[in-house]
Amino acid sequence: MKISVHNKTLVLFLSQLFSLLVSKACHFKHNIISDPSKLLHSWSLSSDCCSAWEGVACDPSGRVVNLSRPGIVWGSDFLFDTYMSGTLSWQLIDLKGPIPPKFGELSHHTHLFLDSNKLFGSIPTTFRYLFKLEKLYIGNNYISGVVPSSVFGSLSSLLELGLSGNRLSGPIPTSIGKLVLLTKLDLHGNNISGSIPVSTGKLKSLTYLDLSGNRIIGRLPQSIGALSQLVLLYLNHNQLNGSIPSSISGLNSPRFCQLSQNKLAGALPASLGQLPKIERLIFKNNKLSGKFLEGTLQFSLTFSSPTIVLQARFLQVFSNLLNLQTLDLLTNRFIGQIPSQLAKLQRLDTLDLSFNPLGLVSVPSFFARLKLFRLLLERTGIEGQLPSWLSSSYVSIFDLSSNSWTGKLPHRIGNMTSLSFMNLSNNGFQSSILAEFRNLSLLMDLDLHLNKFTGPIHEDTMGDVKKLTALFLSSNNLKTIRSSGKIPPRKASIPVSGFIDNPGLCGAPLPPCNHF
């Protein structure tokens, strides 16, 4: 069969081509009748394939060990016959059309990579003959139809299965439980419906499970606790309901568990305290409620839901979480003081209590002993003045906006030399813009709008913050240097919205000063 090479048709990457002789490579060249993109320009039959052909590599015995030239059109019996030898691993890119049923003849193959193409249609039922297949990836295509039960009930050697980013529908077949050697199952980003089959619990070698971004309903099966080797679990953005099963304690190995954006309800099971290796739990935007039951958890925890109601003593349990790195309680209904026991969490680098009615009189002083990278306390009802000790050189993202802060900014704020984002907006700060801001050389985003800041903007302050790309000073009582009317020129590229409602400010991007 003659084949033509095009630049934007099927792209074929051939690798680990250990059995293809040079003579076959020459035969392959002989079958090419059109090469408009000059991909094989150097492949002259009068030259040595190993030394002169671009994209060809040979071993000392003269065998081709690597062939990598994009643009080879699908349809060559030579290529397919070579692939059927069982010694070739290759990936197709920019493949269009349905998957040829002839792929079912590749019974000796262990790897098949068809991901990130433009394939459509259904998964061929002939795939059930790929008895030796260990890795199958067809993700990021336009494959539709149901996940064929007959296919996945037959691939008993399969270790990794990736079908994400397609248009697959229908339920996950119960035959999935026959893939007992499976270590990775990725079905995210489809239209899969139905419930998670109980047979999933038979996949005892599974370390990675991603069913996120589908339409899966029903309860989490108790059998999920049998996945003792599971490390990463993604079930977010589905329609799961009911409570989290107590059998979750059987997950001995998980480090990341993502269950957000579902309809999970009820109290958190006490068995969550029996996950020794967990580092991060994300349960935001569910309907969880009740009191958190104490355990010996060591994880990063995210609970974020408008409907979750937990008692303030919930926070006391975190004193045991010595490996905790992220504590994210965004958008809940926590009230009261933050317990000082949190100071024990020396590995904590992210603390987000935003949108909780804490009603604190001040930021707890033990915060000074934490090495936080992110500190987010937006809209938590904090009152009083910003303490002078709140000047950690570790903090990069710092948000105290929409509270009831008053008084002056402490001069030690200039010690926060790692800051890249600072938001103090919508408070009652009354000081001038501190000259110490010039020390914040990494600062990119500064929001001070809706306060009572007064005085001039000194050019040697804002002008020295060279990485600053977003500056919001609107709705204060600021003025320019000596009220002469000129915003420091380095900041003139900031939109006008960043400066409006300051009666003393003029000059670009505001109207010229002679208008006042």
Q: What is the model's pLDDT at position 247?
A: 92
Q: What is the pLDDT of residue 483?
A: 43
User: What pLDDT, on the 0 to 100 scale, is given for residue 343?
Assistant: 84
Supply 411's token pair. 């001069």
DSSP 261: S
Residues 6+ apart with CB under 8 A from 51: none
Helices (H) and strands (E) in the chain, counts: 5, 37
- Mean pLDDT of residues grouped by 10 in the chain (516 residues)? 36 34 53 56 73 73 57 46 46 71 82 86 92 92 92 90 97 95 98 97 97 97 95 95 88 83 78 71 70 40 45 47 74 71 82 82 83 92 84 90 93 91 96 87 93 82 76 87 53 74 80 66
Contact 92, 12 (CB under 8 A): yes
Using alpha carbons, select from 193, 194, 195, 148 the residue that is nearest to residue 175.
Answer: 148
Q: Would you state the pLDDT for residue 255? A: 79
Q: How far is CA 298 from CA 55, 254, 294, 341, in A?
A: 51, 12, 12, 15
d(CA 26, CA 64): 11
Task: Tell me the HSE value of 229 on the side-chain side, using a 13 A CA sphere.
Answer: 14
**Predicted local confidence at residue 329, as pLDDT:** 72
The per-residue pLDDT for 29 is 55
Q: In whole angstroms, what is the distance from residue 346 CA to residue 118 CA? A: 49
pLDDT digit string, tens, across residues 114-163 = 888 888 999 999 999 998 899 999 999 999 999 888 888 889 999 999 99
Domains in the chain with CATH codes: 1-94 (no CATH), 359-516 (3.80.10.10)
Q: Where are the beta strands (DSSP E) in 304-431?
A: 326-328, 350-352, 374-376, 383-385, 397-399, 404-407, 421-423, 428-429
What is this structure's pTM? Answer: 0.66
> What one-character DSSP code corresponds to residue 5?
B
Structure letter (DSSP) for residue 321: -
What pLDDT does 99 receive? 87
Tokens at residue 451, please? 């306060």
Nearest to 58 by CA among 107, 101, 20, 100: 20
Residue 289's pLDDT is 60
Alpha-carbon distance 182 to 165, whole Å? 20
